[in-house]
């Protein structure tokens, strides 16, 4: 695996040691059991895989290279590089301006750009329309295109499926940048539909069985399908791909559900003519992080903490998983922990909440802790240190960290 040149302030000495130990013991990454880090009266139970993935490290490396290689030039990011506020704020602090927000709303008009400006494409990729606008302005869209290779893999697979007359079903969030980009690329070759979850897949199954009218289909999936989409024609042959940050298990569940629906209509002996095998499009990093989190569910712990951007899809899914077994706190960074009080984001109510005395008075505390694929290890380390400060002084914390055993 390639080693990226990521700024050292994103790294963590504690977590680097943990990862090095696990790599030595399990070089092929077959063991998804968590790591226990004992620091005084705390046991932090870390997921086997957490933090920056390949695509994020690639995007960050190329972003900082763009800064170093273009002194004096205006540098723009199409939208947030990744869904982590600390990373995006640091890029802003280094002079990078954002052209759009995460919803695609224009912050700076494209007409204000010139061919001498540098524009970075974020890890999520971008739409064909936006790419064409930039190219028509004479802007180089290749040198600093940081689109994740695993997102591009989905695009390439979608193209081949569409060329084989498959309709592309995207499991994703309609308003997410990556899903918009995948939709844009896929529709160049055929018809596309976006579904969010198994409930929408159930409605789609009724459309496949022609139990819903075209009007009902168009009302239910409004703005989520390509022009001219005819469910009675374009749902006879499909392939399911996903927004790479969605739960892989849910994508597989949706795929199997739709596969069984097509079998009920066309027969098992004909299924290969009506459904493509797209398991190879699932992102390995998302799979690894989610599988590691499932292993955390089997642990005995007092609570769980997930660290990452509140608009991060992959991080939100980790919260959803851990919420099944633990009182789970979703925080963006260590600043959310002040003494024994914590401010955290409730994904169900979509609001910040406050919890006083979130740690109990029990002498020993077992805390499950992990982070999303766009969260720097340094932020996770700061969270661990802030928790330690509830019971220990700075000098004691330094001693604990220097002497810890994983």
**What pLDDT score does 313 carry?**
87
Catalytically annotated residue among 5, 24, 112, 178: 178
Range of the domain at 341: 8-53+285-402
The reported pTM is 0.86
Contact assessment for residue 37 and residue 404, using Cβ atoms and an 8 Å cutoff: yes
* Residue with token string 């159930």: 202
Which strand ranges, in their side-by-side order, compose the sheet holding 42-46?
Answer: 35-39, 42-46, 365-371, 303-307, 328-331
**Does residue 141 lie in a domain region?**
no
Query: Same domain, yes or no, for 47 and 97?
Result: no
CATH number, domain of 118, equals 3.40.50.11270
Residuewise pLDDT in 10s, the chain (406 residues): 566 788 888 999 899 999 999 999 999 888 999 999 999 999 999 999 999 888 888 889 999 999 999 999 999 999 887 778 888 889 899 999 999 988 888 999 999 999 999 999 999 999 999 999 999 999 999 999 999 999 999 999 999 999 999 999 999 999 999 999 999 999 999 999 999 999 999 999 999 999 999 999 999 999 999 999 999 999 999 999 999 888 888 999 999 999 999 999 999 999 999 999 887 777 877 888 889 999 999 999 999 999 999 988 889 999 999 999 999 999 999 999 999 999 999 999 999 999 999 998 888 999 999 999 889 999 999 999 999 999 999 999 999 998 887 6
Query: Same domain, yes or no, for 39 and 112?
Result: no
**Does residue 386 lie in a domain region?**
yes
Burial group, residue 299, by CB count within 10 angstroms (0-12, 13-18, 19+): middle
* Terminal CA-CA length for the chain: 24
Query: Same domain, yes or no, for 156 and 278?
Result: yes
- Tally of CA atoms within 13 A in the half-sphere of 94 that contains its CB: 20
**What pLDDT score does 104 carry?**
82
Q: Determine whether 178 is an active site residue.
A: yes
Q: Count CB-CB contacts under 10 A for residue 358.
A: 20
| Beta pairing class for 337-338 and 192-195 | unpaired
* Residue with token string 């629906």: 261
Residue 177 main-chain phi, psi, to 5 deg? -55, -40
Look at residues 226, 271, 229, 285 and name the one whose alpha carbon lies nearest to residue 53.
285
CATH number, domain of 275, equals 3.40.1010.20
- DSSP state string for 90-136: HHHHTT-EESB-TT--BSS-GGG--TTSEEEBPTT---HHHHHHHHH
């Amino acid at each position: 695996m390639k080693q990226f040149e990521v700024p050292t302030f994103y790294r963590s000495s504690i977590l680097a040691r943990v990862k090095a130990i696990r790599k030595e013991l399990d070089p092929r990454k077959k063991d998804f059991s968590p790591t226990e880090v004992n620091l005084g009266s705390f046991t932090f139970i870390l997921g086997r895989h957490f933090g920056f993935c390949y695509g994020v490290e690639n995007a960050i490396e190329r972003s900082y290279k763009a800064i170093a290689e273009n002194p004096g030039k205006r540098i723009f990011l199409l939208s947030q590089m990744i869904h982590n506020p600390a990373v995006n704020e640091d890029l802003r602090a280094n002079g990078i301006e954002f052209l759009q927000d995460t919803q695609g709303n224009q912050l700076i008009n494209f007409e204000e750009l010139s061919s001498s400006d540098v524009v970075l494409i974020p890890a999520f990729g971008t739409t064909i329309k936006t790419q064409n606008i930039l190219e028509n302005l004479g802007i180089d869209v290749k040198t600093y295109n940081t689109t994740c290779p695993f997102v591009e893999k989905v695009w390439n697979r979608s193209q081949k499926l569409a060329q084989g007359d498959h309709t592309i079903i995207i499991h994703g969030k309609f308003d997410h940048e990556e899903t918009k980009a995948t939709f844009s690329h896929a529709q160049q070759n055929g018809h596309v539909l976006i579904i969010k979850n198994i409930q929408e897949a159930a409605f789609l199954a009724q459309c496949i069985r022609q139990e819903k009218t075209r009007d009902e289909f168009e009302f239910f999936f409004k703005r989520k399908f390509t022009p001219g989409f005819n469910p009675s024609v374009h749902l006879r042959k499909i392939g399911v791909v996903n927004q790479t940050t969605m739960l892989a298990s849910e994508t597989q569940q949706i795929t199997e559900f739709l596969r069984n629906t097509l079998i009920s209509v066309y027969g098992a002996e004909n299924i290969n003519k009506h459904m493509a095998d797209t398991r190879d499009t699932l992102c390995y990093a998302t799979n690894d992080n989610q599988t590691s989190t499932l292993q955390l569910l089997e642990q005995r712990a007092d609570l769980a903490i997930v660290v990452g951007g509140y608009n991060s899809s992959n991080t939100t899914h980790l919260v959803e998983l851990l919420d099944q077994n633990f009182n789970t706190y979703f925080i963006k960074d260590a600043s959310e922990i002040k003494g024994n009080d914590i401010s955290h984001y409730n994904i169900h109510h979509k609001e910040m909440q406050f919890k006083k005395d979130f740690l109990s008075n029990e002498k020993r505390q077992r805390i499950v802790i992990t982070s999303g694929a766009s969260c720097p290890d340094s932020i996770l380390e700061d969270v661990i240190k802030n928790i330690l400060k509830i019971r220990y002084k700075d000098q004691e914390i330094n001693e604990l960290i220097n002497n810890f055993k994983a």
